[in-house]
């Protein structure tokens, strides 16, 4: 199924709910989701708040926040994890919470 609305509000949906789905919203608020809930999902928000998540909760996930506050998390909680904070406050941790960790602040 694909729907195209008026200029500035174009929306395209491919596949039924719980299957492959892609949505494109108005300029500045575009959103794209691929895969059903709990599986691979990619979300792209408005400019300045771009966000991308890949993988279900508790598994490999990458999140990119707004400019100056970007954050990237790789690996489930309690396992390999790397976070990059805002400029001047970057933090990187490698290894589980209760294991070897490297922090750069």
Residue 18's pLDDT is 42
Residue 70's pLDDT is 43
Distance CA 52, CA 50 (A): 7
- Same structural domain for residues 66 and 37? no
Do the Cβ atoms of 80 and 93 come closer than 8 Å?
A: no
- Same structural domain for residues 83 and 105? yes
- Same structural domain for residues 67 and 25? no
Ranges under pLDDT 50 in the chain:
1-22, 24-30, 34-41, 46-82, 84-105
Summarised one tens digit per residue, pLDDT across range 55-76 is 444 444 444 444 344 444 444 4
Number of domains in the chain: 2
Instruction: Give domain status of residue 54, yes or no.
Output: no
Q: Which domain holds residue 18?
A: 1-47
Residue 84's pLDDT is 46
């Amino acid at each position: 199924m694909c729907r195209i609305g008026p200029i500035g509000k174009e929306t395209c949906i491919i596949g039924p709910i719980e299957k492959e789905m892609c949505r494109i919203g108005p300029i500045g608020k575009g959103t794209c989701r691929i895969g059903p809930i709990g599986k691979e999902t990619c979300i792209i928000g408005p400019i300045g708040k771009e966000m991308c998540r890949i993988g279900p909760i508790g598994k490999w996930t990458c999140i990119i926040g707004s400019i100056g506050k970007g954050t990237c998390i790789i690996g489930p909680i309690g396992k390999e994890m790397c976070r990059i904070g805002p400029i001047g406050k970057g933090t990187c941790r490698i290894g589980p919470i209760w294991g070897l960790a490297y922090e750069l602040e």
